[in-house]
Amino acid sequence: MHLVEAPNVEPEELRVAMRWKVKDLLDMKVDDAAIDVFPVPDDAYRGRKMAYVVATQKAKIPAIVKMGESAGLELAIVDIPELAMRNVSSLYLKDNNGAAFMDLRRTGSTMNITRDGNLYLSRRINTQLDPEVMQSDDWPSLRDRLVLEIQRSLDYYESQMGKGQINRILIGPRQLDGEAMAEALSELLAAQVSPFNLADYLQSDVAFNSVLQQQALTAVGATLRGAQRLEANGASAPDIEDDEIDNLNKLGNPEAA
């Protein structure tokens, strides 16, 4: 996923225009790539029109479709983790004044900042955090590196994008240490960090423990595209106010869902 300045073209022409704008950024031939675009909000970059461009090899898409069909699913959208996360946060979190939502994993992490359900910033965080990272000798250095990456993203949102300060950060489900991780990060960041429990919002026929929550987070998020905001099952939505086959062609386009 690449953040690039959007050319001054009609919305229906943007995908084609962006294909050639990012061709030198891709690790594949542009003719072999399935590409889609989702613009960031108009007020995100002080009047500059910017957009995220998502690309994958066309040859990979039939395998994804086949996998879904083999599971008895009728595929409507091929989504990406960043937008699946956005679907979760825009549905369950009050982000009127901005909210940060993080998915911390062994294979790398993602941080989204949304406001009013719109994705303003999505960044890949390279710090690797396995389920038992807090028990390892490397935790202090990994923690400090993670805090630095988080703070850089928050500073970028505030200074480069001209938006307000993010005061709350939610951590997506972790297998073992969600609450402890949130507490450790809160001690080193000005923003309050809290764990997000997906089980507070979804009913399940199986035990929806933290392990399953993390494994299913992006799959759940993909199914939520276009859903309306709901109240939690017996819980209040985390208050962050102050305190969607069109292969990849509909990727990032909620109106097409």
Domains of the chain: 2-75 (3.30.420.380), 81-223 (3.30.420.260)
Burial of residue 89 (CB within 10 Å: 0-12, 13-18, 19+) is buried
Which tokens in the block code for residue 93? 């979190």
Residue 219 CB neighbour total at 10 angstroms: 10
Contacts 24+ apart (CB under 8 A), 236-240: 237/92, 237/93, 237/94, 238/92, 238/93, 238/94, 238/168, 238/170, 238/194, 238/196, 239/94, 240/93, 240/94, 240/95, 240/96, 240/97, 240/98, 240/99, 240/168, 240/170
102 vs 47: which has the higher pLDDT: 102
Which residues, 6+ apart, have CB-to-CB distance to 61 below 8 Å?
34, 78, 247, 248
Q: What are the φ and ψ backbone dihedral angles of 16, each rounded to 5 degrees? A: -65, -45
Min mean pLDDT across 6-20, 110-124, 131-145, 243-257 is at 243-257
**In the predicted structure, residue 230 carries a pLDDT above the cut 60:** no
Which tokens in the block code for residue 184? 């450790």
185 sits in which H/E element: helix 178-186
Alpha carbon 230 to its chain centroid, in Å, reads: 19
Q: What does pTM read for this prediction? A: 0.82
115 sits in which H/E element: strand 109-115
**In the predicted structure, residue 256 carries a pLDDT above the cut 50:** no
Q: Tell me the mean pLDDT in the region 26-34.
A: 89
Counting residues of the chain whose pLDDT is more than 70, the rounded percentage is 88
Q: Tell me the mean pLDDT in the region 48-58.
A: 90
Q: Tell me the mean pLDDT in the region 20-29.
A: 87
Per-residue model confidence as pLDDT tens digits over 85-130: 999 988 888 888 889 999 999 988 999 999 988 999 999 998 989 9
**In the predicted structure, residue 236 carries a pLDDT above the cut 80:** no
Strands 118-125 and 50-57: unpaired
| Model confidence band, residue 68 (pLDDT cutoffs 50, 70, 90) | confident
Nearest to 170 by CA among 246, 113, 234, 253: 113
